[in-house]
C-alpha cells in the first residue's frame, strides 16, 4: 500500500496535514513573537536603547507604581501613574462595551425583525463606515468636536436664535471625546453578531410565548435575550479586546490628555526607546484582557443562567 493510500485511509493524519499550514503561521507569527516579548520584558534597557538580556522584575515593579531604584525608606517611591493608566484603559473599555451594547441591540433587533427585502439595505448602511479608513473616521470626529467644529457652530447658531450667549464647548481632547470615538468605531462589530443571533430565532417561539400569555417584556426576557446572548458575548469580545489595546482614537481625540495602555506601549517603543518596559506593559495588557474575557465568557458564554431563570 502506497503512502498516499495510507493517508487517504487515516483520517487523523489527514487532519494533522491540513492543520500544518495554520499551525506553522500561528507559531511563527504569534507564539514566537509572544515568547520574544516575554523574554524582553525581563531584560534591561541599555543607554542607547538596546535590550540587555538578563532577568529582572524592574519593569513590572515600575508598572506597579514603585521605583526599583528608590530606597525602601523613602516615602516618595510610589507613583500610581501607570496604575491609573491601566485603570483608565479598563474603565474606558468597559464603558465603551456597555454603551455599544445598549446602542447596537435595539438596532440589530430592528434589522432582524424587518422585511427581508429591507434587511440587506440596513446591513449595507451599517457597513458603509467600514469602507473608509479607520484614521479618517477618527479625524472626522475631530472636525466635529473641536472648538470651531460643526457641533459648536450648530449650537452657537441655535443659541443665537433664542438670544442666548453661547460659549463654545471644550469637547476635544477629553475622555468623553475618546469614548464617543470608540463607540462610533466599534459599533458595527457589535451590531453584526447580535443581528446574526436574533435572525436565527424561530418565529414560532414568539407565537408560542404569545399563546402562553407572555407579554412583550416577558417574551424578551425569557426568549429573545437568552437566545441572542451568544451574539452579545461575541460582540463584546470583538469590541472589548480591541478597545483595550487601541491607541489611535485616544491619540487623536484625546491628545496628550488621555493616555491609555496602548499609547503607553506605543511611546515606549517609538519615543522612549525602551522596548523592555513596553514589552512588560504589553504582557500586562494581554493578561488583563484574557482574565476579563475568561470570566465574562464563563458567566455569559451560553446564557445558562438566564435560561435557567
Q: What pLDDT digit, counting tens, does each position of 5-33 carry?
A: 665 666 666 677 778 889 999 999 999 99
| CATH at residue 168 | 1.10.3720.10
Rounded to whole angstroms, the Cα distance separating 62 from 60 reads 5
C-alpha cell at position 116: 427581508
Output the average pLDDT for the chain.
87
Q: Tell me the residue range of the domain where 114 lies.
A: 81-308
Average pLDDT over residues 237-257: 91
C-alpha cell at position 156: 452657537
C-alpha cell at position 50: 538596546
pLDDT of residue 303: 42
Cβ neighbours around 249 below 10 Å, total: 29
Rounded to whole angstroms, the Cα distance separating 168 from 153 reads 8
Domains in the chain: how many in total? 1
Residue 75 lies in a domain: no
Residue 171 lies in a domain: yes
For residues 261 and 245, is the Cβ–Cβ distance under 8 A? yes
Cβ neighbours for 12, distance < 8 A, ≥ 6 positions apart: none
* Burial of residue 278 (number of CB atoms within 10 Å: 0-12, 13-18, 19+): buried
User: Could you tell me which residue, 147 or 305, shows the higher pLDDT?
Assistant: 147
pLDDT of residue 309: 33
pLDDT tens column, 54-80: 999 999 999 998 888 776 655 567 888
Confidence (pTM)? 0.86
User: Could you tell me which residue, 165 or 231, shows the higher pLDDT?
Assistant: 231
* Burial of residue 49 (number of CB atoms within 10 Å: 0-12, 13-18, 19+): exposed
Provide the Cα torsion 178, 179, 184, 187; round to 10°.
140
Separation of CA 236 from chain center:
8
Provide the Cα torsion 278, 283, 288, 294; round to 10°.
150
Cβ neighbours around 246 below 10 Å, total: 24
Which residue is associated with the grid cell 491628545? Answer: 255
Separation of CA 210 from chain center:
38
C-alpha cell at position 128: 458603509
Residue 261 lies in a domain: yes
Rounded to whole angstroms, the Cα distance separating 228 from 101 reads 12
Confidence of residue 145 (pLDDT cuts 50, 70, 90): very high
pLDDT tens column, 101-118: 999 999 999 999 998 889
Residue 302 lies in a domain: yes
Residues in a beta bridge with 235 = none
Give the start-end residues of each E strand in 98-246.
none
Residue 24 lies in a domain: no
pLDDT of residue 180: 95
Average pLDDT over residues 151-157: 89
Amino acid at each position: 500500500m502506497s503512502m498516499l493510500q495510507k493517508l487517504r485511509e487515516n483520517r487523523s493524519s489527514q487532519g494533522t496535514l491540513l492543520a500544518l499550514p495554520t499551525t506553522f503561521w500561528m507559531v511563527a507569527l504569534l507564539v514566537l513573537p509572544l515568547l520574544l516579548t516575554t523574554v524582553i520584558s525581563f531584560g534591561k534597557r541599555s543607554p542607547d536603547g538596546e535590550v540587555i538580556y538578563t532577568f529582572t522584575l524592574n519593569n513590572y515593579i515600575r508598572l506597579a507604581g514603585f521605583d526599583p531604584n528608590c530606597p525602601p525608606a523613602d516615602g516618595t517611591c510610589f507613583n500610581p501613574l501607570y496604575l491609573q493608566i491601566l485603570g483608565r484603559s479598563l474603565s474606558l473599555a468597559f464603558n465603551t462595551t456597555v454603551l455599544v451594547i445598549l446602542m447596537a441591540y435595539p438596532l440589530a433587533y430592528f434589522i432582524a425583525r424587518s422585511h427581508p427585502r429591507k434587511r440587506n439595505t440596513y446591513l449595507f448602511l451599517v457597513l458603509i463606515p467600514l469602507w473608509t479608513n479607520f484614521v479618517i473616521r477618527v479625524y472626522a470626529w475631530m472636525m466635529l468636536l473641536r472648538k470651531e467644529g460643526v457641533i459648536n457652530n450648530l449650537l452657537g447658531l441655535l443659541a443665537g436664535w433664542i438670544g442666548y450667549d453661547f460659549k463654545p464647548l471644550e469637547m476635544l481632547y477629553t475622555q468623553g471625546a475618546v469614548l464617543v470615538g470608540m463607540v462610533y468605531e466599534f459599533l458595527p462589530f457589535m451590531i453584526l453578531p447580535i443581528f446574526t443571533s436574533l435572525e436565527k430565532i424561530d418565529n414560532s417561539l414568539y407565537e408560542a410565548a404569545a399563546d402562553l400569555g407572555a407579554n412583550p417584556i416577558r417574551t424578551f426576557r425569557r426568549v429573545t435575550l437568552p437566545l441572542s446572548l451568544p451574539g452579545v458575548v461575541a460582540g463584546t469580545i470583538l469590541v472589548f479586546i480591541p478597545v483595550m489595546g487601541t491607541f489611535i482614537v485616544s491619540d487623536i481625540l484625546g491628545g496628550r490628555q488621555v493616555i491609555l495602555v496602548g499609547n503607553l506601549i506605543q511611546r515606549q517603543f517609538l519615543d522612549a526607546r525602551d522596548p523592555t518596559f513596553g514589552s512588560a506593559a504589553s504582557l500586562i495588557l494581554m493578561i488583563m484582557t484574557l482574565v476579563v474575557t475568561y470570566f465574562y465568557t464563563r458567566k455569559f458564554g451560553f446564557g445558562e443562567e438566564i435560561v435557567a431563570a
